[in-house]
Amino acid sequence: MLMVVAESPNPSGGIPRFGVICSRRFSGKAVIRNRARRLIKESFRLIKNNIRPCNVLFITRKALLGKKLLDVQKEMMYLLAKANFWIKND
């Protein structure tokens, strides 16, 4: 598991919003923490058109270290689908 997701409905509608928690426990180096944040932000940006309006919080885990963008994006899509925030495009 690369990250943990906490979500809540967005009653005002509109676009999905997100936040990222990447603490010093994840890595002592700011460069590594910022890369993890950038990976999550870019992954969310690429898939946000398929997400229902909601507030999502991503909490990083050490398994995210060294992962590529596609790995993070797949994990994010899986977690959001499991939480029923993924819009099915049939």
Domain ranges of the chain: 3-82
pTM of the model: 0.86
Q: Identify the CATH number of the domain defined by range 3-82.
A: 3.30.230.10
DSSP string, the chain: --EEEEEEE-TT-SS-EEEEE--TTT-S-HHHHHHHHHHHHHHHHHHGGGB-SEEEEEEE-GGGTT--HHHHHHHHHHHHHHTT-BPP--
Q: What is the mean pLDDT of the chain?
A: 89
Residue 53 pLDDT level (bands cut at 50, 70, 90):
confident
Residue 49, token pair as written in the block: 């058109």
pLDDT score for 64: 92
